[in-house]
Amino acid sequence: MKEIKTNKKNLLIKIFIKLCRLFGFEIIDQSNFSIPTSGKSLSDNISTPGKKSIILPLGEVNITRPVRSLNIILRTCMTVGMLTQSKKRIFEKNKEEYTKKTLLSLINSVNHAKIIFKNTKFKIFVIDHNSSKNQIENMKNILKKSNINFEVISLQIEEFSKQIKDINEEKKEVTENQKSNMSNIHQSLLLSKEKSDDLTYFVEDDYIHEKICLSEILHAYERIASLTKQDLIVCPTDYPYLYSKADKTRIFLGENRHWRQIDQTLCTFLTSKNIVQKHWNELISMCKFEHYPFEKPLHNIYEKELCISPMPSLAVHFTNINSAYGLSPNVNWKRLWDENEI
């Protein structure tokens, strides 16, 4: 008799689970830390990209702003150690090492994100200036083995440098290295305008990324953009300067990170085609006149748009150890460096 009652109970549970699945509800069994409707554990990623974001104990957010595609535009130059400083970087290696590790970390992060965001298209563009033929071939060989759609472009600096004013906001002459940097940013913005149909990640060649970096950014983008009803600007790095002052901010919850609103970044950031088009003149002004600080046009945009960064960091800027925009706190920099070997 007891066995018959147990079988009836199990049958009713199965029917209830099927009905919940049919109507799109999730059941949580807190006695064994599981979700019977999806066959997952509560420790698994239980969100569905493009459809719903589920973070316990807050529940479900319907995704109204899915990510269709992500173009990554990596700006490289292996002949210049530090753009505006004579200081050495942490680990004191040749610039080529930092560029390769940046590229490898991006490849690892894209391949991880592709597993989760199955309906999102990914492509890597590399815009290079002045690296040797051998260095460029090495990058191409790394990309060929990545199983990621890619394109390597040589910067046509002559097309852009003549548009740059020779004297900057500090009344100093703009250096040739800075003109190269401004030209590369200019070409990357044009490339984004031409090739992107959704998100673009503009990235410099000295940021080493966690494997989960891009998947976490895309989860956060879909969730926070859906909640706030607006497109975002996302910086992947938790810069040290953010802890040198006690400014008020807004905190958001992502899949594996907290995110806070910030008002300053360098020139590594992710955003939408809509925001690029909306603020085109301000972005391009950064490529024609050297402001002080250089990123001033970006900071002006952040007064009008929501810019967020993760806590702790998802990508580390491998510059001098004393830089306010350098090594992120509470991250094992050596582990990240060692993990991204060829």
Question: What DSSP line would sit under 236-287, residue for residue?
Answer: ----GGGGSS-----EEE-SSSEEEE-S---S-EEEEHHHHHHTHHHHHHHH
Listed by start position, the domains of the chain span 2-44, 69-339
**What's the pLDDT at 43?**
56
**What's the pLDDT at 54?**
85
Neighbours of 335 (CB within 10 A): 10
The stretches of the chain forming alpha helices (DSSP H) are 2-22, 95-116, 133-144, 157-161, 176-195, 213-228, 273-278, 280-288, 296-302, 333-339
Write out the two tokens for 262.
């910030």
Residue 305 · residue 312 · CB < 8 Å? no
For residue 72, give the H/E element and its range.
strand 69-76
Write out the two tokens for 199.
């998100």
For residue 232, give the H/E element and its range.
strand 232-234
Render each residue's pLDDT in the chain as its tens digit; 342 residues.
545 555 555 665 566 656 655 655 666 666 665 666 665 655 567 789 999 998 877 778 999 999 999 999 999 999 876 666 568 899 999 999 999 999 999 999 999 999 999 999 999 999 999 999 999 999 999 999 999 999 999 999 999 999 999 999 999 999 999 999 999 999 999 999 999 999 999 999 999 999 999 999 999 999 999 999 999 999 999 999 999 988 899 999 999 999 999 999 999 999 999 999 999 999 999 999 999 999 999 999 999 999 999 999 999 999 998 899 999 999 999 999 999 987
**What's the pLDDT at 272?**
98
**How many Å separate Cα 101 from the centre of its chain?**
16
**What's the pLDDT at 20?**
57
Write out the two tokens for 170.
């500090």
For residue 201, give the H/E element and its range.
strand 199-204
Please give the Cα distance from 22 to 25 (Å, whole number): 8
8-state DSSP, 210: P
* CATH for 69-339 (3.30.565.10, 3.90.550.10, 3.40.190.10, 3.30.450.30): 3.90.550.10
pTM, rounded to two decimals = 0.90
Write out the two tokens for 241.
């300067």
**What's the pLDDT at 286?**
97
**What's the pLDDT at 246?**
84
Please give the Cα distance from 79 to 129 (Å, whole number): 9
The DSSP-derived string for 108-155 is HHHHHHHHH-TT-EEEEEEEE-S--HHHHHHHHHHHHTTTSEEEEEE-
Write out the two tokens for 234.
């996302």
Which amino acid, 311?
A: M
